[in-house]
Structure 1
Amino acid sequence: MAIGAQPAVGVKPTRRGLLMTLPALGLGGCGMADEGWTARAARREGEVVIYANNDVAGAVAEGFERRHPGVKVRFRELNSVGVRDAVIAEDRSGKPIADIAWSTAMDLQVKLVNDGYAQPVHLAEAAAFPRWAVWRNRGFAVTAEPVGFAYNGRLLGEVPRSHAALLLSLQRDPSAWRGKLALYDPEKSAVGFMYMSADTQIYPQGWELLEAIARSRPGLYVPGGAIMRRLSSGEHLLAYNMTLTYADWWARNRDASIRFLAPSDYHLVISSVAFIPRAAPHPHAARLFLAYLLSAEGQEKLRLGRLRPLRGYTGAESPGARHIRVGPGLLANLDEMRRTSMLERWRDALQSQPGSGSAVGSD
């Protein structure tokens, strides 16, 4: 194990995994890495492999490859659970492929860091970020994405302006909302469960609202694209807990009738979290890519790829923002007893009326 690394919890390191974390010492264990030497080592490695649950590879990859010719970026798009499972499986098999694990499922990412699957790296670029965005010099938040209501402005007349207004509308006229709401399936989507957990902690009537949504027979999805397509078609009118960046990209590129509203009582702000797996086969290229993600140029490339960068984000333009912070507080989402209890309550609400809870798994 690299000097200063935390002992892994429930993870037995492989000999290969231990050996492959040693380059991290030269990558900035004391914050004094020779960037020129790292870049040369990265060129010798020749590539960096990114496992991510986003589709913004284009702008980021092109910018990085222009900045660092000779290092090829290879993206593999997985869902958030797929990112987690691949990192664990590759570590245990001693046949690693991923150099960067990057996902919006903040709790799953924090769990991997907590369990010893990430290697430490000190980056000068991290100084430009809030303290809560960097955990144990292993997990790095790179975006700030407001979460709220995406809706079809062409078809939805009166838009609820807050969680309380949505709850009241669901209670007063449930038939008007029958099948018209969509959200990430909290049973199948790690991001969906994270949203559910945060809502029930922040909003006093969180469960009352979620149960009302469940009784409306919502569309339940794993991929965000499926939600947006059905919102655009008019099958659904409002997507609950959708990111501004996704809704905005869809409005600019697919359907100008898509709108986004940040609820006036509060709204979540999530971050995608990136780390270097401890067994990364191209550790120098991985460090270079992570530093690029945190740099001013890399953050601007994220914006071009439809994500809102965290660097320079103050939240002043987003009143009512409630940040989900990187850190051990997220581990509560993965407590098995708590998760089971929450999902049982959700399923009970889905089944409270005949035929309710008609989930649409994927496109």
Structure 2
Amino acid sequence: MAEPPIPPTPPIPPTPPIPLVDLRAAHAEVAEEVRAGLERVLASAAYVKGPDVAAFEAEYAAFSGVRHCVGTANGTDALELVLRALELAPGAGVLLPANTFVATAEAVVRAGLRPVLADVDDEFQLLDPAAARAALVAERSAGRPVGALLPVHLTGQLAPMRELLALAEEFGGLPVVEDAAQAQGASQHGVPAGAWGVAAATSFYPGKNLGAYGDAGAVLGSDERLVEAVRLIADHGSAVKYVHERFGFNSRLDSVQAVVLRAKLRRLPQWNAARRGAATRYGRLLADLPGLRLPAVRPGNEHVWHLYTVRIAPGPGEGHRPGRRRDAVLAALTAAGIGAGVHYPVPVHLQPAFRSLGHRAGAFPRAERAAAELLTLPLFPQLTEEQQGRVAEELRRALG
């Protein structure tokens, strides 16, 4: 009697990819609350400037340690609105780091002002006070006025605010505006992001620690006059219907996004704590990898790990083509289903749109070095230890 045939071995199911950020997992935690809120909005038809917007503004102001919050259409608008409300001289300089998302510089130009770039420090990639001082001295010597400082809180931790505030005071009491889009819930010496400067702008782009289901942003501050000017400009320059006191534009947070943000804000402290736990695990898993430099927390900062960025040491002969080894590691991770990324591959001064600033390669060497070496690994509150172990394994393999 013939032996029965051996059944074929079932195929091994493919390993699911690990995204850079898992928005579906975040939605699952708030889905019921968001659904109830959307039904409330639809029943009331209060789509713009409704009660959920007012409630979120009050809740986020309290969370951020300031007196006022104005919801806006996006984070870029929020920055522009603050700069317009400051009423700086047309064409005045605004000092910002060369290593930031382009929106920081875009907002300056859109407000009729002039970006003045300074290099970042090598360890944290945050605006370097010494480089900022040198830029301010150079601008003053050239007779070009600088009207404000715009430090960026990057990857989840604050720029050195005490030093930058002292620098702003030294140069005539310049207003300091915080770009706090990556630091929701972060603090420095116990003071929350957004509560240091004259005002702050943040973004609620979906991938942020506090993300909407579309574009959204906010302006934060305790200067009532400045914040009310922001609110006026963001609503066509009008506080009374059909009466327009000043030139403005339309940048309002809508009720649908406010519902989402309220639900997520209630979970933000818990989610930020989960991010810190994941960052600690990465530190343990990746500590012995050669050619890898782990991110550091600046003393005094409470980091919220919007991004977990490592640095890939350049390979031999990379002088003329920086970033080749980092890009090879990124390609290997992508092929293995690991959703890594780069923040940011091209500094502001080397972007074609900002060629008119007149800077060449080498002008801001630390920002350029970071752009060639930084690699962002997956990090989100729902990231599991198993997933992180796989990221570490594939990164070890990619580094060779």
The alignment's TM-score, normalised by the length of structure 1, stands at 0.31
- Look at both structures and tell me which one has the larger radius of gyration over its CA atoms: 2
Structure with the greater relative contact order (CA < 8 A, sep ≥ 6): 1 or 2? 1
The alignment's TM-score, normalised by the length of structure 2, stands at 0.29
